Amino acid sequence: MRMKLVAACLMGAALIGCTPPAPDAETPEQAQIATFEDGGCLGYLLLQRAAIAEGRAQGDEAALGTALEAWRASADDVLSTTGLAQYEASSVAVQDDADAATLETEAARCVADAPQT
């Protein structure tokens, strides 16, 4: 009987030590994503730069590249390299259906709003 009680106490202590964080606690990955917001700029800039490179749009590729690097730099403190790559890929996927006029307008906004480096 005494052994069962000791075993139960040890199991309880082990469970307490292994308890997952409270539901409202953020893991580092969740905190990273939650604190970086670009308003869709990475996706818009990548898509507009690709459209210019492919001859489907006109514009200043260098300005887009500079803004893109500024947005990426602002994410450096928040996202890992892998996290940034995933964020960019999902941003492109979300913005991919935008028409040419929307891409041009949003890319211009993103250039104007780019973080100062």
The whole-model pTM stands at 0.69
Q: What one-letter code names the amino acid at 106?
A: E
CA distance 110 to 71: 9
Tell me: the pLDDT tens digits for 57-66? 999 999 999 9
Tell me: the pLDDT tens digits for 82-107? 999 999 999 999 999 999 999 999 99
Q: What are the angstrom distances between the C-alpha of 59 and each of 19, 26, 35, 44, 112?
A: 54, 41, 31, 13, 14
* Structural contact between residues 49 and 61, judged by C-beta atoms closer than 8 angstroms: yes
* Structural contact between residues 91 and 107, judged by C-beta atoms closer than 8 angstroms: no
3's tokens: 């052994």
Helices (H), the chain: 2-17, 28-35, 41-53, 61-76, 81-95, 100-112
Domain ranges of the chain: 24-112
